[in-house]
């Protein structure tokens, strides 16, 4: 089964997560696409990366199941397993609360990442998993 992780590729925090996800997925099940890429323009995936709402979207193929905000993080933890499994514990928190925390981090993500952080999209491991390149 293939998964596509849509991220705001202009955000160092999001791109850093993409790098960590790719390194934690030696089976290469998870691929990366920018929210500004052609695959992100599919019906049901149209999200504006700068609205502070959906900076991470996870799409499961072939059934096209979509996971947004905190649900995407929980599903990512389930797929990756191992040390990432702790993300599944977030399910115990009611969705409105965890999505509110997600939105808070998303709104301030540029301040939370180092201004001079290298873009993870240029990482060879991430680049090998890119779909349609960064927007």
Beta-carbon count within 10 A of 19 CB? 18
Mean pLDDT value across residues 112-134: 67
- pLDDT tens-digit readout, 68-110: 889 999 999 999 999 999 999 999 999 999 999 998 988 887 7
Mean pLDDT estimate for the chain: 81
* pTM exceeds 0.85, yes or no: no
Distance CA 125, CA 18 (A): 10
The mean per-residue pLDDT over the stretch 112-129 comes to 68
Structure confidence at residue 88 (pLDDT):
95
Distance CA 86, CA 125 (A): 24
Question: Which strands make up the sheet holding 65-68, listed edge to edge?
Answer: 30-34, 2-7, 56-61, 65-68
CB 52 within 8 A of CB 112: no
* Residue of 8, 9, 11, 5 lying closest to 112 (CA atoms): 11
């Amino acid at each position: 089964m293939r998964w596509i992780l849509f991220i705001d590729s202009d955000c160092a925090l999001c791109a850093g997560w993409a790098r960590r996800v790719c390194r934690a997925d030696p089976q290469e099940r998870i691929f990366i696409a920018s929210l500004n890429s052609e695959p992100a323009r599919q019906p049901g995936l149209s999200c504006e990366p700068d609205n502070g709402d959906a900076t991470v979207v996870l799409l499961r193929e072939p059934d096209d199941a979509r996971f947004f905000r905190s649900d995407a993080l929980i599903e990512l933890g389930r797929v990756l397993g191992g040390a990432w499994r702790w993300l599944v514990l977030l399910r115990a928190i009611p969705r409105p609360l965890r999505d509110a925390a997600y939105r808070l981090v998303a709104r301030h993500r540029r301040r939370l990442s180092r201004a001079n952080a290298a873009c993870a999209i240029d990482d060879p491991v991430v680049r090998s998993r890119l779909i349609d390149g960064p927007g």
